[in-house]
Amino acid sequence: MSKAVDIYGASVRGPRNRREGRANQDAWARSSGPFGDLVAVCDGMGSRPAADVGARAACEAVKKAVRLWPGSAASADPTHLVRLVETLWRLELSPRTASECASTCAFALREPDGHVLIVGLGDGLAVVRRADGDLLTLGGRSSESFCDETLALGTPHRIDDWWIATEPPSSGRTLVLATDGVADDIDPTQLAGFVDWLANDIGRIAPAARWRRLQQELRDWPVPHHVDDKTIAVLREAAGGQP
Amino acid sequence: MSKLKEFTVSSARPLPVIVMADISGSMAADGKIDALNSAVAEMIAAFAEEDDGRAEIHVAVATFGGDAALHVELTPASGVQWTPMKANGRTPMGAALDIVTDLIEDRERVPSRAYRPTVVLVSDGLPNDEWRGPLARLLGSERAAKAQRFALGIGADADHDVLRAFLDDAEGRVFEAHEAREIRKFFQWVTMSVSSRSRSAQPNHTVDVDPLNLDDYGDF
């Protein structure tokens, strides 16, 4: 991991899967290497029999895809990266079918030159808090849908259903990815405060204790009757920390 | 206390149930309006006591009799102050369909974190306003078209073609109430169906509560 970047996150089973003895159907991953720093969150669709497999496979597919991709600094088209993820995900699943493993997928790649590529399919949420306080939001619940309706790997979709954004090199940014179990319950007017809490309160805790604290926060989720698995992943740049 | 409470919404995911009630003058006959009032009130009371679900059941009642209006604004069932409906005037179902479409399309009143709404249409006659356009608008809308829809025809004069068009489902069934007590029976079935959804692992999915076995749940 670049010294200019800190990546952390946590994922917990929701009350529904705990009660029914099922695995966490969310997954998250981080990875660092010559390609830069990567963070991903994926949410297997609860109605599919191998949703947990699909979510973990999506994280693995993203990790493999970024190693193959030449990077936006080389002017590569991000849709090629998306196609790689789609193909590698299917290979990861084999012999299971895509349909039984459907999963949303959201990830952010901070390239060595400081470009950040933010990509997703489905109702996962990505938020970038820039150093000047501006907030960029991608994904989340579409306005025409109700909860539990989402596009995903393994459901019919087109390449342009993926949301893609590129942030130019900068520093002091915080990027948060969250599955819908978290994103749907965040008050939109409090989104900036939520990101700042993750960056400034949670982010300052030592790594081992931080993971436990974040797990506990997700388990003690304060919204009545919540049921979903919950996953948050954070990529935080140091202020003035351009490589 | 966790700071997260400052950033999260304070309410459970809503599961909206919208009743479209015909309260035209003809509903005053044969105790129909009284039966409808007590059946809807009983349903709301049952939803208000539903505390082990994955959702908070919200209820709205749109009426059409003389005018079309929202008799009960979309509210958590536990907060509904029920006042009986009064039968009066003609049957402006088209205007009521517009009210329901506008309600479901309003992201403030029915947020995207809500479960798919249920809309229950109850009528004992023929619409006397332009209803085809409003129905086409509902069925062609982004969100209202996704609502789970139930229909009850009361008595021999109910227009089953209209009710079938509302369901817009070749396998959908228009329920029939030939006497007032069957109105209550229908709403008991709606209550069972919605409560089952609320408690299910996937509240957006329809839960099969076999209407042919409704007598199992009734008290007569």
User: B115 and A47 in contact by Cβ < 8 A?
Assistant: no
Would residue B12 count as lying in a domain? no
> Across the beta sheet with B174-177, what order do the strands follow?
B67-76, B56-65, B14-22, B118-123, B148-154, B174-177
Would residue B11 count as lying in a domain? no
User: B54 and A227 in contact by Cβ < 8 A?
Assistant: yes
Beta bridge partners of B68: B64
Please write the tens of the pLDDT for every residue from B93-114. Answer: 999 999 999 999 999 999 999 9
Please write the tens of the pLDDT for every residue from A90-105. Answer: 999 999 999 999 999 9
- Residue A52 structure tokens: 């947990």
Name B140's Cβ contacts closer than 8 Å, sequence gap at least 6.
none
CATH class of A5-237: alpha beta
Report how far residue A49's alpha carbon sits from residue A51's, in angstroms, rounded to the nearest whole number. Answer: 6
Comparing A137-141, B51-55, B175-179, B199-203, which segment has the lowest mean pLDDT?
A: B199-203
In the three-class reduction of DSSP (H, G, I as helix; E, B as strand; rest coil), residue B28 is classed as helix
User: A146 and B11 in contact by Cβ < 8 A?
Assistant: no
Name A60's Cβ contacts closer than 8 Å, sequence gap at least 6.
A29, A88, A92
Beta bridge partners of B153: B123, B176
Strand B118-123 relative to strand B148-154, pairing:
parallel
Name B166's Cβ contacts closer than 8 Å, sequence gap at least 6.
B121, B135, B149, B151
Which residue in B11, B117, B205 is closest to A224 by CB distance?
Answer: B11
Residues composing chain B: 220
Comparing A16-25, A57-66, A119-128, B48-57, which segment has the lowest mean pLDDT?
A: B48-57
Size of interface A-B (CB pairs under 8 A): 89
> Chain B: residue nearest A18 by CA?
B201
Would residue B16 count as lying in a domain? no
What pLDDT was estimated at residue B215? 52
Q: Which of B112, B195, B207 to mutate to test the interface with A (most CBs of A within 10 A)?
A: B112
Report how far residue A108's alpha carbon sits from residue A234's, in angstroms, rounded to the nearest whole number. Answer: 10
User: A225 and B55 in contact by Cβ < 8 A?
Assistant: yes
Domain boundaries, chain A: 5-237
pTM of the model: 0.85
What pLDDT was estimated at residue A183? 95
User: B113 and A47 in contact by Cβ < 8 A?
Assistant: no
> Chain B: residue nearest A15 by CA?
B54
User: B9 and A187 in contact by Cβ < 8 A?
Assistant: yes
Please write the tens of the pLDDT for every residue from B145-188. Answer: 999 999 999 998 899 999 999 998 888 889 999 888 899 999 99
Please write the tens of the pLDDT for every residue from B127-149. Answer: 999 999 999 999 999 899 999 99
Domains contained in chain B, number: 1
Cβ-based contacts of A20 with chain B (< 8 Å): 201
Would residue B95 count as lying in a domain? yes
User: B204 and A16 in contact by Cβ < 8 A?
Assistant: no
> Chain A: residue nearest B117 by CA?
A146
